[in-house]
Each structure stands twice: as C-alpha cells, then as structure tokens.
Amino acid sequence: MKRAIILHGWEGHPGDAWFPWLKTELKKLGMKVEVPQMPNTNKPQMSEWLPHLEKVVGEPDKNLVLIGHSLANITFLRLLERMVEGAKVGKVVMVAGFIDPLGFKELESFFQSPIEWDKIRQHCDSFVAINSDDDQYVPLKHVDIFKEKLGAKVVIEHDKRHMGPEDKTMELPSVLEAVKE
C-alpha cells in the first residue's frame, strides 16, 4: 500500500492550510496518510525533529511519498542523508523548500552541516519542488538548486506567497498532481 507523510514547517500544525485537504484527497486514492505534529514547533531544532521524523517514517520504502512544507523539506533531506545504503523512498514533494536558514537564527540548527546531495539522490529518484513566484520568505533561486542538485521537477505557482497557514492556502492541486505522477 502506498503511504504518504505530510509534514508541516516552523510554527506549523497538522490541521493547517492545505494539509487536511491533501490528506483527504490522498486517502481517496487509497493511500495511508500521516500528518504528524512535530515537536517544539515554535522553536524547532534538528536534534528533535529528525529523530521524531525517523520514528514516524519507520522502514522507508519505494511506496513512501514525503510531502513537506517549508522547514519540513530540509528535515526530509537530512532524513535521506542518514538512510542506510540501499533504502529508498518513492518521491519527495517539496513545497516552499529552501537550502539555507534564510537569515533566521531559529533555523540554523537545520543547516549546521553541508547538504550531502549525492547521499540524498541515492535514496530517492523522484523530487518535485513547488514554489510561488511571490513567496515572502523563499526566493525562487532555491528551486533552481533543487533542479540542479536533485533533478527535481519544478512547479512555479503564481501569487500563492509561502503557501502556508498565514496565506490561507487551503487547497494546493499542484501537490496532489505531483503525488499522482
């Protein structure tokens, strides 16, 4: 059975934005869907988030799709870096993802070591990066890096800002399409 993990970002919650809508849509496709609450979401630390995510994921396999918003995406990439040789997930869909702390001290623990792109690519063959052309936090240059380093398919949304709870993005059909592809 295919399964999906939808992960919120900084200050996020499983009931935010488009997460409940996507969970419902993926269940209609027969997928098992988890939307976990990450620890200490107002002051996130990689040392807490990564072990929590590893517990949620359990044994990764090709039937697993990881769908993240914002800070969730670097957490997914760090998870892939640490996976054992030969382990793979089916797909990673990154919404409003980024590769540096964007000037926020609160996010620095997620970026203390260089991103190991080669290790990440060994554990997933399919990446999709979905960003908005007017994101108030994440410049579009980040999707170019995901395309270059991971071969990610890039989807640019228009006028959707950061696509999170503060932007009232309650449905995000491009994410559903990315999972279905």
Tokens of 146: 């995901």
- Domains of the chain, each with CATH number or no CATH: 3-180 (3.40.50.1820)
Return the pLDDT at 45: 98
* Chain length of the chain: 181
Q: What is the pTM of this model?
A: 0.97
With a cut of 50, list the residues of the chain below it in pLDDT: none
Sheet holding 153-157, edge to edge: 32-34, 3-7, 64-69, 91-95, 127-132, 153-157
| 148 φ, ψ (degrees, to nearest 5) | -65, -50
Beta carbons within 10 angstroms of residue 101's beta carbon = 16
What is the reported pLDDT for 165? Answer: 87
pLDDT, position 144 = 96
